[in-house]
Amino acid sequence: MNPEEVHVLEKKLLVPTYQRPSPVFTHGEGVFLFDSEGNEYLDFAGGIAVLALGHSDPEWISAITDQANNLTHISNLFHTTPHVELAQRLVDHSFADRVFFSNSGTEANEAAFKFARKWGRTKGGPEKTDMIAFVNGFHGRTCGALSLTHKARYREPFQPLVPGVTFVPFNDQEAVRQALTSRTCAIVVEPIQGEGGVHPASKSFLQGLRSLCDENELLLILDEIQCGLGRTGTLWAHEAYGITPDIMTLAKPLAGGLPIGATLVTEEVSSVIEVGDHGCTFGAGPLVCRAAQVVFDRVSQPSFLNAVRSNSEYLLQALKSLPSQHILQIRSMGLLVGIEFDLPVKPLVQSALERGLIVISAGENVLRICPPLIINQDQLTQGVEILRECLPGLESQ
Ligand code: PLP
């Protein structure tokens, strides 16, 4: 099929939830992608912060090939080994005592939502089911996760959503304190708001949320779906804040591009959950869990995390050298970077693509860079130089 045929059939056959640029991608290798016309692209988006190990990592391919030759799916009704081995890794390297596996970020948050509600009802009675979430926060698109997501464009067509969620300004602890009621059971927050424009939480804010949760017997739920698993240069984004949550959700990079979600919880949270309370046909399948073991073992290596930290510093310095006429601010933690412009970035995303660089936006005015974590400094320079070439075009808009 040539690209035009793909475009025509997509338009005809798919529910129109996405607007895609014209290349049709056929394969990837490391930090590079290739389209059906033989063009090469440097990938500064990593499948939206998913491909920590890049495209077609040989060790990852070998693990899933081996697993597919043995057992891909059997459902959660039966025992298998890979999910236990993955859960062991996650528990050994985090605050958590137990894990629930699903297939996506939104599902990981959906499980967190249900577990927190059940915990609230069990500890505080049937009224203790409300949650606090944040302005510009993004937690997914299913009805529970969407109820925690702030953006009106995503929410309004589907109302009524799940009741009991109050949105409070991000990085404003006093506003959270004022929004608490006897019905509140949990606070849900991204340590770095990703989709909302790459806004890191301040240290005092996350620490303040931890204290508010402790003082008021609430659960702190950290959504590390975009910022966790090495993206910020530590295994968990919350390490930089010196706190731990009661629930943490993971997804994007965990299985290296295969669908997975994980909801990590303390024993205290898990103790209220019984057989039958939640479930998932595909979650914790042997194939994805073998893939995730490979990813986890690599991204949790101190040398891997050191490289993310030094490469992120290198990238930041390189970005600061860009002519700043339209750049309002560069925000970053590790290899999650947002460049805020004083005008929409869509034309910049398009001209970068035409020059062989894949970047994405986070909202209208923020260019988001979240490359595979294996990227090296030459490749970072290459991408920044392409951005530099694109910037004069922005002037002429
Ligand atoms: N939470 C955060 C912080 C995210 O960035 C995303 C996706 O961008 C989600 C949840 C939803 O994840 P998924 O698209 O896998 O459902």
Assess whether pLDDT exceeds 90 at residue 393.
no
- Position 394 scores a pLDDT of 79
Interval 205-219 mean pLDDT: 98
Per residue in 319-364, pLDDT (tens digit) is 999 998 999 999 999 999 999 999 999 999 999 999 999 999 999 9
Report CA(105)–ligand 1 centroid distance (Å).
5
Residue nearest to atom 15 of ligand 1 (CA): 105
CA of 43 to the centre of ligand 1 (A): 19
Q: Identify whether the C-beta of residue 232 lies closer than 8 Å to the C-beta of residue 226.
A: no
pLDDT tens digits, 137-165? 999 999 999 999 999 999 999 999 999 99
Query: Is it the case that residue 397 has pLDDT exceeding 80?
Result: no
> Which atom of ligand 1 lies at the shortest distance from residue 145's CA?
10
Nearest to 231 by CA among 138, 120, 311: 311
What is the C-alpha separation between 105 and 391, in angstroms, rounded? 34
Name the residue with tokens 């944040």: 134
Q: What is the pLDDT of residue 324?
A: 84
Strands of the 366-369 sheet, one edge to the other: 327-333, 336-341, 366-369, 360-361
Segments in 71-227 forming alpha helices (H): 82-92, 105-124, 143-147, 152-155, 173-179, 203-216
Cα 262 versus chain centre, distance: 12
**Nearest-atom index, ligand 1, CA of 104:** 15
**Domains, in order of start, for the chain:** 3-56+302-396 (3.90.1150.10), 71-299 (3.40.640.10)
Please tell me the distance from the alpha carbon of residue 248 to that of residue 238, in angstroms, as a whole number: 10
Nearest CA residue ID for atom 5, ligand 1? 226
pLDDT digits (tens, 9 = 90+) for 52-81: 999 999 999 999 999 999 999 999 999 999
pLDDT of 86 higher than 90: yes
Q: What is the mean pLDDT of the chain?
A: 97
- In angstroms, what is the span from residue 313 Cα to ligand 1's centroid? 25
What pLDDT, on a 0 to 100 scale, did the predictor assign at position 396?
61
Listing DSSP states for 55-90 in one string gives BS-HHHHHHHHHHHHH-S---TTS--SHHHHHHHHH
**Dihedral angle at the C-alpha atoms of 101, 104, 110, 111, nearest 10 degrees?**
0
Q: Who lines ligand 1 at CB under 6 A? A: 48, 104-106, 109, 138-140, 190, 194-195, 223, 225-226, 251
Percent of the chain with pLDDT over 70: 99
Please, what's the b/e burial string for 66-83 (b: 16 or more CB within 10 A of its CB; e: otherwise)? ebeeeeeeeeeeeebebb
Contact 287, 64 (CB under 8 A): yes
User: pLDDT grade, residue 241 (50/70/90)?
Assistant: very high
Query: Which residue minimizes the CA distance to atom 14 of ligand 1?
Result: 105
Q: How far is the CA of 365 from the centre of ligand 1 (A)?
A: 20
